[in-house]
Chains A and B, each alone.
Chain A
Amino acid sequence: MKVEGQPLHSHFETLQQQENASTLGMWVFIATEVLFFGVIFTAYVYLRWEYPAAVRAGSLHLEIVLGSINTAVLLTSSFIMATAVLMAEAGRRRLASLLAAITAAMGVAFLVIKGTEYSMVIAHGFFPGAGGGPVPGREELFFWLYFLMTGLHALHVFIGVGLLSGVAFFLRRPRGVSVNAVRNIGLYWHFVDLVWVFLFPLLYLASHR
């Protein structure tokens, strides 16, 4: 395998060993993340189980068009990231850098759309605890979970944008970043994408059968 970028650390015997270690490290980290999100998904399951009507009613007030656009943006960005990894593996680092930059830009677009959606939901008075808004009964809890789940996800997108910008920048330097690091950050990005694949139907499509 062609290996460029970072040098071998002294406690590893071979570069292959070092790369395998960091890849496995990313997988274990993702396992941790799954359990991290798992708690709040459990809270959602509780709410939906106990108060299905409240979840459906709350879901109707979300901006499903913006949510769908965001889903498309994120899925496409994942595809572009996968291409970036392929290009990096093929040694076409400039093209890979460009693709990583596009992925990062789509992450930013996701965050902008998300922010717009937040402001619209808040403008309609659905921010929980704000008082005065049309938030009857258990719906308030639905909106708390909506903000917690998407907020936590947005934080992950934000971190991902930072990592991808770094990848895009350092791929242009001769020994800036290893192909394996690009692959691992790609893994992280696909994970963030995958979380959204679950969030979107649970939150936005709950009322659409």
Chain B
Amino acid sequence: MNHSELTQPVDLPARENDSYLAKHTVRSWLLTTDHKRIAILYLLSILFFFLIAAIAAAIIRIELVTPQEDLIGADMYNRMFTLHGVLMVWFFLIPAAPTVLGNFILPLMLGARDVAFPRLNLLSWYLFITGGMVSLYAILVGGVDTGWTFYTPYSTTFTNGHLVTMVAGVFIAGFSSILSGLNFIITTHKLRAPGLTWFRLPLFVWGLYATSIILVLATPVLAMVLVLIAAERLWGIGIFDPAKGGDPVLFQHLFWFYSHPAVYIMILPGMGVVSELIPCFARKRIFGYKFVAAASVAIAVFSFLVWGHHMFVSSQSVYAGFMFSILSYMVAVPSAIKVFNWTATLYKGSISFDTPMLYALGFIGLFTMGGLTGLFVAAIAVDVHVTDTYFIVAHFHYIMVGGMVLGFMGGLHFWWPKITGRMYPEAIGRLAALVTFIGFNLTFFPQFVMGYLGMPRRYQVYPEEFQFYHILSSAGASILGVGYLLPVIYFIWSLKHGPRAPDNPWSATGLEWTTASPPPVHNFHQIPVVVEEAYQYPVPASPPLEAALPGKSQKGEPL
């Protein structure tokens, strides 16, 4: 796509002063209530946690190159994968898409000047940072060796790790999640621009709305469960201790009541991003808008009904197992609706393979793999065979990394011009997307195979027959690392040296592209009025600014 021909003749100097990035003091950042600046604070913080968790993953992969114990001992290995899991889940995967992309884009997409509660938004960033620091402290003073799931009775009775501190960190970060979710729900309900009805909303908003419902309804359950394990460990109250009349499986029920929906917290915003990217780069309206939108809500509802599929090998009733198995199959229906609708959107589209699109296509492929293997493990018999093996590890990494991270990267590339006002180098961008895709598959596909063959997770010593797969996986991880590093480098480069971004570099629809890049402090000089449904592709030669104004309504309607 040629950017220069789309540049609008807007006087740049005037825009610069108006930009939300104009102020440079530390105070203007740390006390900001601007959703766009808070998004950037979040971006920097989650990257920090991602880096630490990625280093832990690198140490794990290096250790696993040989079947013996060489780099780190068993105890340290346990602490490493716990660190990796806790930081990745609560301090990267869950907050990343909602708090970075959501915070930045949601008010812009809605034609609003900010989120509903800007000060609460800043408070949730501070809570997030506080929670992260407490967890980091727990890691520095010795770490936790329970795995990110904190299973009882090991976590409450036997472990020698700094469990209570770690749990306190996650507890605090949980409140950050709740407040963000609350903010997004109210923003979507109450701050939509005139004419922006529910079925005119961009699908990213639907995804974010469904995510927020889960954040608000599931996170408090996690918070209380964490209180219970801290209390159990500190005072031995016995609710999870069979010797005192408690039940360790009760912990698993409560934990997965949160943690299964949490998977959808990670994937739903990613799906929303892909629903933005596919129509834009295929220059076609999304196929079956209402179904894609409703599928997000359906996934959110189902997500609360399937937690027991993590517990097929616990002492859970076999009848409960049947129900959870059937309900888990049902999640595949809305998920497949999305995948088929994206594919149908691509059909006969005029597709251009820009960087965001490459990530979106990668998302569809990897999410499908992750989703289909999800059906394997939703079948009780297969699950009993592969429980706690690398098959599970591969499955959830296909969803979380292949799905969520690719969706997040796609969205970050797509909106980077809007966020910073600069373009990144397209050629290296495409290369990085490709490297990520290849590195990812090389890392995790062998794990399906060795998991099916019986390699258990969470061991650093293993039979020699699995070494081949582990070497492939570690080699893939180093390629994946390059795929992550490249965008960091060229994004930073682009801040100073990237070409100035036009207001709408992709000729995309959506209100966020009708304002300046980077947007002014209050987003819009005049609150836009929406007269047509989302994704009116192909966009005619003129930018979609006019499309959002009244007077053009006859052209867009009826649909």
By a beta-carbon cutoff of 8 Å, the part of chain A in contact with chain B is 9-13, 17, 20-22, 24-25, 28-29, 31-33, 35-40, 42-43, 46-47, 50-51, 54, 128-129, 137-138, 140-141, 144-145, 148
| Residue in B112, B186, B216, B246 whose beta carbon sits within 8 Å of that of A141 in the complex | B246
Interface residue? B221 (CB, 8 A): yes
- Show 14 A/B contacts (Cβ-Cβ < 8 Å), sorted by A: A11-B191, A24-B190, A25-B117, A28-B185, A32-B220, A35-B220, A36-B221, A38-B220, A38-B221, A43-B250, A50-B245, A129-B236, A129-B237, A141-B246
Q: Are A42 and B254 in contact (CB under 8 A)?
A: yes
Q: Which of A31, A145, A148 contacts B216 (CB 8 A)?
A: A31
Q: Is the CB of A20 within 8 A of B190?
A: yes
Q: How far is the CA of A144 from the CA of B185 in the complex (A)?
A: 36
Whether A21 contacts B245 in the complex (CB less than 8 A), given A31-B216, A144-B238, comes out as no
Chain A contacts for B225, CB-based, 8 A: 39
Asked if B54 is at the interface of the complex by the 8 Å CB criterion, the answer is no
CA A33 to CA B250, docked complex, whole Å: 20
Once the chains bind, are A141 and B182 in contact (CB under 8 Å)?
no
User: Which B residues are CB-close (under 8 A) to A37?
Assistant: 224
Q: Shortest CB–CB separation between residue A23 and chain B, in angstroms?
A: 9
| Min CB–CB distance B227 → chain A (angstroms) | 8
Q: A13-B527, A28-B185 are in contact. Are A33 and B244 (CB under 8 A)?
A: no
B153 within 8 A of A: no
Q: Which residues of A contact B224 (CB under 8 A)?
A: 36-40
**Residues of chain B lying within 8 A (CB to CB) of residue A32:** 178, 182, 216-217, 219-220
Question: How many whole Å from A158's CB to the nearest CB in chain B?
Answer: 17
Interface size range on B against A: 35 or more
Q: How far is the CA of A137 from the CA of B243 in the complex (A)?
A: 10
Judge if B511 is at the interface, Cβ distance under 8 Å: no
Of all chain B residues, the one with the shortest Cβ separation from A147 is B237
B512 interface residue, CB < 8 Å from A? no
Task: Say whether A21 contacts B220, CB under 8 Å.
Answer: no
B190 touches A43 (CB 8 A): no
**B245 touching A36 by the CB < 8 A rule?**
no
Inter-chain contact A21/B116, CB cutoff 8 Å: yes
In the complex, whether B522 has a CB less than 8 A from a CB of chain A is yes
Q: Provide the residues of chain A in CB contact with B228, threshold 8 Å.
A: 39-40, 43
Is B237 a contact of A137 with CB atoms below 8 Å? no
State whether A35 touches B250 (Cβ < 8 A): no
List, in ascending order, chain A residues with CB within 8 A of B115's CB.
11
Q: Type the 1/0 row for B117-129, where 1 means its CB is closer than 8 Å to any CB of A.
A: 1100000000000
Nearest 3 Cβ contacts at the A-B interface: A39-B224, A36-B220, A11-B113
Q: Are A54 and B245 in contact (CB under 8 A)?
A: yes
Candidates A22, A36, A138; contact of B223 at CB < 8 Å:
A36
Return B32 CB to nearest CB of chain A, in Å: 13
Which chain B residue lies CB-closest to A50?
B245
Q: Is the Cβ of A140 less than 8 Å from the Cβ of B186?
A: no
> Is the pair A138, B245 in contact by a Cβ cutoff of 8 Å?
yes
Alpha-carbon gap, A51 to B238, bound state (A): 14
Residue of A nearest to B223 (CB): A36
Question: In chain A, what residue has the closest Cβ to B253?
Answer: A42
- Does B247 belong to the interface (CB within 8 Å)? yes
- The CA-CA distance from A11 to B186 in the complex, in Å, is 13
Which of B116, B217, B223, B231 has the most chain A CB within a 10 Å cutoff? Answer: B116
User: Are the CB atoms of A47 and B245 closer together than 8 Å?
Assistant: yes
Q: Report yes or no: B217 in contact with A31, Cβ–Cβ below 8 A.
A: yes
User: Complex: how many Å from CA A21 to CA B189?
Assistant: 8
Contact of B112 among A11, A43, A50, A129 (CB under 8 A): A11
Q: How far is the CA of A42 from the CA of B245 in the complex (A)?
A: 15
The answer, yes or no, to whether B218 is at the interface (CB within 8 Å) is yes
Residues of B within 8 A of A20 (CB): 190
Interface set, chain B 225-274, CB cutoff 8 A to A: 225, 228, 231, 235-239, 244-247, 250, 253-254
Interface residue B114 (Cβ < 8 Å from any Cβ of A): yes
In the bound assembly, the distance between CA atoms of A50 and B239 in angstroms comes to: 12
> Which of A11, A21, A24, A39 is B221 in contact with, Cβ under 8 Å?
A39
Closest to A16 in B: B190
Q: Verify A148–B185 contact, CB threshold 8 A.
A: no
Whether B221 and A17, one on each chain, are in contact in the complex, defined by CB atoms closer than 8 angstroms, is: no
User: Are the C-beta atoms of A128 and B237 separated by less than 8 Å?
Assistant: yes
Cα separation A22 to B118 with both chains bound (whole Å): 12
- Look across to chain B and name the residue whose beta carbon is closest to the beta carbon of A51: B245
Minimum C-beta distance from B300 to chain A (A)? 14
Complexed CA–CA distance, A32 and B182 (Å) = 9
Bound Cα distance from A29 to B179, whole angstroms: 9
Complex Cα distance, B220 from A32, in Å, reads 6
The reply to whether A46 and B238 form a contact with Cβ atoms under 8 Å apart is no
- For A28, the chain B residues whose CB sits under 8 A away are 182, 185-186, 216
In addition to A37-B224, A42-B254, A43-B228, 10 A-B residue pairs with Cβ atoms within 8 Å of each other are A17-B190, A20-B190, A21-B117, A38-B220, A42-B250, A42-B253, A43-B250, A140-B245, A141-B237, A141-B244
B448: shortest Cβ distance to chain A, in Å? 35
A54 and B114 alpha carbons, distance in the complex (Å): 53
A141→B240 CA distance, assembly (Å): 10
* Cβ contacts under 8 Å, A29 to chain B: 182
From 96 to 141 in chain B, residues with beta carbon under 8 angstroms from any chain A beta carbon are: 112-118
Note all chain A residues with C-beta closer than 8 A to B114. 11
Which A residues are CB-close (under 8 A) to B237? 128-129, 141, 144, 148
Q: What residues of chain A lie closer than 8 Å to B253, measured between beta carbons?
A: 42
B250 and A46 contact, CB distance less than 8 A: yes
| Chain B residues, CB < 8 A from A43 | 228, 239, 250
- The complex places the Cα of A135 from the Cα of B211 at a distance, in Å, of 45
CA distance A129 to B239 in the complex (A): 13
Residues of B within 8 A of A54 (CB): 245
Q: For chain B residues 311-343, which have a beta carbon within 8 Å of chain A?
A: none
Q: Which residues of B contact A11 (CB under 8 A)?
A: 112-115, 118, 191, 522
Q: Give Cα distance in the complex from A144 to B253, angstroms.
A: 20
Instruction: State how many angstroms separate the Cβ of B60 from the closest Cβ of chain A.
Output: 32
Among A13, A140, A145, A148, which residue has its beta carbon within 8 angstroms of that of B244? A140
* CB-based nearest A residue for B523: A11
**In the complex, which residues of chain A have a beta carbon less than 8 angstroms from the beta carbon of B190?**
17, 20-21, 24
Chain A residues closer than 8 Å to B116, beta-carbon distance: 21, 25
User: Across the two chains, which residue of chain A brings its CB closest to B245?
Assistant: A138
Chain A hits for B236, CB < 8 A = 129
